[in-house]
Each structure stands twice: as structure tokens, then as C-alpha cells.
């Protein structure tokens, strides 16, 4: 049994029937967190889209994390925020969201960025991309040695992201990823079956 957990990242389009798909995915097996990641909406529209999803997560005790926007995370009373390298500082997020907020930082393939994030008080760091991904442009490629190095030295959890599927995730789990952040592998097909497939790997079934 591994301690690695699933961290779902939303597709860019969460309108229409997506709330039903999210509920199906979360009911298919344990999920630690859900990241709300939409682009091109103003904060008011983003908040409207987020509300039903946040409720679905809340009733299932799944952490609701907002991508990029400290302001939206505060407006929603979200469980936390995930910051890219240009989305504000951990200190700013902590000041606005409070001591209990989960604050994650994208660190690409950089040991230096990860150490800086840890020292700044981040709750987790995210490394990637580990595999080619269709979800966003891949400017950085990370290897499993990065996960092994982090686990050997630091207590803060690390998230692996980028093109992760049930078929290729086992080496990341073995290397020490605390969470697998997945999007296309779940939302690109039958979300419930995909979550179950990930859990078979995570539980060593």
C-alpha cells in the first residue's frame, strides 16, 4: 500500500455536465484534492463556475484548490491555492488566505525553486512535466531522480504532474511522489474508470 494519493486537475471547460462528471470521479475512489483551473474568465464568472464544484468537493471532504488566483481563492473561501512562478508569493497567499490554507507552488524541474518554495512556507511543491502532455505547453521535463532527491531531504509533500496515466505512473509512485496530479487521463475518457485504474496502481492491486 502506497501513501501516494490522487490530485485531480480540472479541464479548462467546466461548464455543462462537468459537475456530474466530477461527482462520478470523486465517488469512484479516494481523491485527495481537486484543482479548479479555468482560463479567460473574469473573477465573477470563474466564481459562478466554481461554486457547484466546490460544493461537490466539500460534501466528499476533497480539498478544493484554486489555480493561479489568490483573489479567487479568497473570494470562494477555497481550501487553498496553487501558484505558478508568476502568480504571487507564498507569503502573499498566506497573508490573504490564512494559516490553514493549502499553498502549492509549481517548481518545474528546478531543485532551487522547490527549496525556495519550501523555505517560504509552501505546503507542497509540484514537479513536472514527467511525460508529454496535451493539457498545456511543456517547457520543462522532470525525471524521477528529482522526486527521489526531494523525498530524501524534505518533509514537504511533492506532486508529480504532466502526462501521467495509470499505465505510466508506477515509477513516479516508487520514486516518492506524494500526489499524482492528473487531468487529461481522467477527463479524456470515462472518469470513473480512470480513477479506479489509478487506484489499482496506487494500492498495488
Region 139-155: mean pLDDT is 95
- The model's confidence at residue 133, banded by pLDDT at 50, 70 and 90, is confident
H helix intervals, 98-153 = 111-120, 144-153
- The model's confidence at residue 1, banded by pLDDT at 50, 70 and 90, is very low
Class of domain 5-202: alpha beta
pTM: 0.96
- The model's confidence at residue 134, banded by pLDDT at 50, 70 and 90, is confident
User: Given a cut of 90, is residue 136 above it in pLDDT?
Assistant: no
Q: What per-residue string of b and e applies to 90-125 under the rule 16 or more CB within 10 Å gives b?
A: beebbeebeeebbbbbbbbbbeebbbebbeeebbbb
Q: Of 195, 196, 198, 147, which Cα lies nearest the Cα of 168?
A: 198
Contact 145, 115 (CB under 8 A): no
| Kind of pairing between the strands at 5-9 and 63-67 | unpaired
Domain ranges across the chain = 5-202
Region 162-173: mean pLDDT is 97
Q: Supply φ then ψ for residue 178, to 5 degrees.
A: -80, -30
184-205 pLDDT, tens digit per residue, is 999 999 999 999 999 999 998 5
pLDDT at 78: 98
Average pLDDT, the chain: 96
Amino acid at each position: 500500500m502506497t501513501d501516494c494519493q490522487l490530485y485531480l486537475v480540472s479541464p479548462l471547460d467546466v461548464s455543462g455536465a462537468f459537475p456530474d462528471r466530477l461527482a462520478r470521479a470523486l465517488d469512484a475512489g479516494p481523491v485527495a484534492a481537486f484543482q479548479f483551473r479555468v482560463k479567460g474568465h473574469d473573477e465573477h464568472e470563474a466564481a459562478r463556475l466554481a461554486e457547484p464544484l466546490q460544493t461537490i468537493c466539500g460534501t466528499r471532504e476533497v480539498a478544493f484548490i484554486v489555480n493561479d488566483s489568490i483573489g479567487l481563492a479568497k473570494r470562494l473561501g477555497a481550501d487553498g491555492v496553487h501558484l505558478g512562478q508568476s502568480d504571487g508569493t507564498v507569503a502573499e497567499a498566506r497573508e490573504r488566505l490564512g494559516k490553514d490554507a493549502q499553498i502549492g507552488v509549481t517548481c518545474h524541474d528546478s531543485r532551487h525553486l522547490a527549496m525556495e518554495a519550501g523555505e517560504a512556507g509552501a505546503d507542497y511543491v509540484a514537479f513536472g512535466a514527467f511525460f508529454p502532455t496535451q493539457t498545456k505547453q511543456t517547457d520543462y521535463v522532470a525525471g524521477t531522480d528529482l522526486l527521489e532527491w526531494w523525498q530524501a531531504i524534505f518533509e514537504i509533500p511533492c506532486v508529480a504532474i504532466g502526462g501521467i496515466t495509470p499505465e505510466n505512473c508506477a515509477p513516479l509512485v516508487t520514486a516518492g511522489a506524494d500526489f499524482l496530479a492528473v487531468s487529461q487521463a481522467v477527463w479524456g475518457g470515462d472518469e470513473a474508470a480512470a480513477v479506479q485504474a489509478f487506484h489499482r496502481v496506487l494500492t498495488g492491486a
